[in-house]
Amino acid sequence: MTMPLPTPVRHLYIHVPFCARRCSYCDFAIAVRAQTPVDEYVTALATELAMERGHDTRAFAKRNDTEHKHMAREPMHASTSSVPWELDTVYLGGGTPSRLGGGGIGHVLALVRQYATIAPDAEITLEANPDDITSVLAAHWREAGINRISLGVQSFHDTVLQWMHRTHTAQQASIAVDTLRAAGIDNISVDLIFAVPPSLHRDWPADVDRVLALAPSHISLYGLTVEPHTPLGKWRQRGTIDEASEEVYEADFLHAHRALMAASFEHYEVSNYGRPGLHARHNSAYWRAVPYAALGPSAHRFDGTTRSWNVPQYADWVQRLQLGHSVVQDREHLTPANRAAERVYLGLRVESGLAATDAECAVARPWVDAGWAHINDGTIVLTALGWLRLDALAAALTAIERP
């Protein structure tokens, strides 16, 4: 059994692993299913949440699926735990959480409300694929409390989407945004992937123009990376892909950066741009290293001193919960060295920068001369060019000998 969550933990991540297909670049813990097992998932989630809140789960083990589903539908809004728990953010990530449908998302959030009070102004995010979105589902999500959608668009070129093994078209992405807005969900984030193989002949500036034309509140940009145990990794092993060069990677990133900044977005984190007041509050909690709770297969949590993570396979996660066993795979207690390294890395990746020592400022001085950073009153702040080289500076600063 896991230990009860410390208080306060004001941010909750819920991993929903289901996908219709694995994308060519994806190395996340997902479960490819033609039919999403919504009831089974909600039942298992109920058991894990009871464990996390320190409740006796023997009662849960005795209930049948029907009773679990009834429990998940209860419209309770006050915590049933003896320790008050209020959440400022809830993030349903995946996988593809939108595959839970309208009722499934409602059941998950109703379950959370049995154990926690969700703040009136909370940010409640759902990751979604464009082809899952209908007016009916969007209305259900809005009614359940979803007020922010993270939309996995990735590209507005159908050939690129097919190569990525995405299940939607460029047209569906545009329609999805209109559908969400019509349902009253205006806080929409769009993901794009840049630096794809040149042989795809992708027009990156056109993709940037298309996303700006949709006027989202937030845009996330991710450079394509090749992970070994993915379809993309296997293609590389066979020599059947031509990876983008570092020069293309930099050119794509800088083009998007200039366009988004000209459109009044704020570049508040290395990969993320938001309208003023519409930065991702949940993800920002990670970058501030504050405690957060997490549920679901492969979910990672942090209590302020220790990180722990669940077993990655969906079937294993479900079986352990059915038996009343812990789903935590492993944990690590942060050492002083870990904390020092995280302080540097997290500080450099956000617009507020790293509050640096004199020694750290001295190491960063060549970066300032190169136009990769600024030092303002002892705070190192990276430029767009510097963020492309973040890992190198983080390594150099972490290597400074500490007293």
The CATH number of the domain holding residue 186 is 3.80.30.20
> Which pLDDT belongs to residue 402?
58
Inside any domain, residue 62? yes
269 and 340: one domain?
A: no
Q: What is the pLDDT of residue 43?
A: 97
Position 184 in a domain: yes
Q: What is the extent of the structural domain holding 354? A: 336-403
Mean of the pLDDT values across residues 143-157? 98
Short-list 265, 291, 292, 290, CA closest to 279: 265
CB under 8 Å, gap of 24 or more: what pairs does 58-61 form? 58/324, 60/324, 61/322, 61/323, 61/324
Q: Both 234 and 344 in a single domain?
A: no
Question: Total domain count for the chain?
Answer: 2
Domain for residue 258, yes or no?
A: yes
**What is the arrangement of strands in the sheet containing 272-274, beginning at the earlier edge strand?**
266-269, 272-274, 218-223, 187-194, 148-154, 117-128, 86-94, 11-16, 293-295
215/327 Cα distance (integer angstroms): 41
Residues 117, 123, 126, CA angle at the centre, nearest 5°? 105
Query: Within a domain: residue 326?
Result: no
270 plus 359 within the same structural domain: no
Q: Are residues 270 and 371 in the same domain?
A: no
Residue range 70-83: average pLDDT? 41
CATH of the domain at 351: 1.10.10
When pLDDT is averaged across residues 250-277 and rounded to a whole number, the result is 98
Residue 294 lies in a domain: no
Residue 295 lies in a domain: no
Helical packing angle, 65-73 and 38-52, nearest 10°: 70
> Is 378 found in the same domain as 240?
no
**Pick from 398, 363, 364: nearest CA to 381:** 364
Clarify whether residues 221 and 82 are in a common domain.
Answer: yes
Residue 57 has pLDDT above 90, yes or no: no
Answer yes or no: do 272 and 364 share one domain: no
Q: What is the mean pLDDT of residues 161-177?
A: 97
* Residue 349 sits in the same domain as residue 244: no
Does an H or E element contain 272, and which? strand 272-274
Residue 67 in this model has a pLDDT that exceeds 50: no
Of 287, 302, 323, the residue at which a domain comes to its end is 287
DSSP track, 31-58: EE-SS--HHHHHHHHHHHHHHHTT--TH
Clarify whether residues 388 and 279 are in a common domain.
no
pLDDT of res. 387? 96
The answer to whether residue 317 sits within a structural domain is no
The verdict on residue 298 lying in a domain is: no
Higher model confidence: residue 212 or residue 55? Answer: 212
- Does residue 318 carry a pLDDT above 70? yes
Same domain, 99 and 182: yes
Whether the bond between 216 and the residue before it is cis, its omega within 30 degrees of 0, is: no
Same domain, 266 and 347: no
Task: Supply the pLDDT for residue 403.
Answer: 52
Q: Tell me the CA end-to-end span of the chain in Å, nearest whole number.
A: 40
User: What pTM was estimated for this model as a whole?
Assistant: 0.91
Dihedral sign, Cα of residue 346, residue 350, residue 355, residue 357: positive
- Rg of the chain over Cα atoms, rounded to whole angstroms, equals 22
Same domain for 281 and 358?
no
Confidence category of residue 8, pLDDT binned at 50, 70, 90: confident
